[in-house]
Amino acid sequence: MTASERPEPPGVFLAFASEDSPRALSLDASLRASGARTAFDESEEPDEELPSEVVLQDLGACDGFVLVWSRHTAEDDGVSELRRLAASFDKPCFVRSLDATPAPEDVDGRIPAEDDDAAATAAVHRLLGAQPPVSAPRPHLSVEPGRWQITSDAQHGETLDLELTGADGSGPLTGVHRRAGVEGNVTGHWRSYPEEGRLDLDLESSFGLRPQHSLRQLQLLGGTNHELTAEDLHGIATVLRYRLVRD
């Protein structure tokens, strides 16, 4: 089978209460390991009236909506709004129960509460009518301290010139953030996860008077200690690709 003949990986949107984040993110990691693209609302402002444009785009582009259900979810207005929006996009809704709290009846499928993440992942693929793709294990890649230039394929251009300091795969960062013709200083922290081939960048970029916070989670795809390729860990509608070069 050629690359052009391979089916597109399914896109799965996860909705959960913040109290259930550890278990929901464990399922998220299992789904990603199976080849699925995943997304969820990563906003730090849960009281906003509407989800962000990125969340709305991912809801519109997903193949299925997984409701991670618990007593916390039942009381979470933000999750209720996400479910309403998913229904407005005519997305199938599947429930993964974490406890004995009665789940909504009007759903398209249920994942048994006793299922572990691997079984739940297989159930999601089955409910979507998709076969998990056969993929090679992810390479164990890491990012070391030093000067790095990270360029994304964002529509209007984006470059991060960063100095990563620290030890044991994490530490502070400083540098310059250029985006869509605007330049500002950036500070924050970084952490590399070699076993997962992942790099997290917690950024505070100064564009104008108000700093902008963002968390970039990059899945490293291949390369060497001095040049790597990567893509967004999460996202369905738009997935940015990156080139990382060490000076």
Residues 6+ apart with CB under 8 A from 85: 51, 56, 59
Reading the block at residue 217, the tokens are: 């989670």
Return d(Cα 125, Cα 64) in angstroms, integer.
Answer: 10
Pairing of strands 11-15, 37-39: parallel
Reading the block at residue 157, the tokens are: 């251009």
Taking 3-state DSSP, the helix, strand and coil percentages for the chain, each rounded to the nearest 5, stand at: 20, 40, 40
Using only the alpha carbons of the chain, give its radius of gyration. Answer: 19
Return d(Cα 177, Cα 158) in angstroms, integer.
Answer: 8
Q: How far is CA 238 from CA 10, 139, 156, 241, in A?
A: 14, 23, 14, 10
Q: Given this model, what pLDDT does residue 2 score?
A: 42
Return d(Cα 145, Cα 166) in angstroms, integer.
Answer: 7
Closest CA to 219 of 193, 198, 196: 198
Q: Given this model, what pLDDT does residue 42 score?
A: 82
Contact 127, 210 (CB under 8 A): no
Q: 245 - beta bridge partners?
A: 149, 227
pLDDT string in tens for the chain (247-residue length)? 444 444 678 999 999 999 999 999 999 999 998 989 999 998 755 555 678 899 999 999 999 999 999 999 999 999 999 999 999 999 999 999 999 999 999 999 999 888 899 999 999 999 999 876 665 567 789 999 999 999 999 888 899 999 999 999 999 999 999 988 899 999 999 999 998 899 999 999 998 778 888 899 999 999 988 999 999 999 999 999 999 999 9
Residues 6+ apart with CB under 8 A from 154: 179, 180, 240
> For residue 169, which phi and psi values (nearest 5 degrees)?
80, 20
Closest CA to 113 of 128, 99, 94: 99
The model's pTM: 0.86
Q: The tokens 């000067």 sit on which residue?
A: 147
Query: Quick one: how far is CA 72 from the chain centroid?
Result: 22
Domains of the chain: 3-127 (3.40.50.450), 146-246 (2.40.128.20)
Q: 222 - beta bridge partners?
A: 229
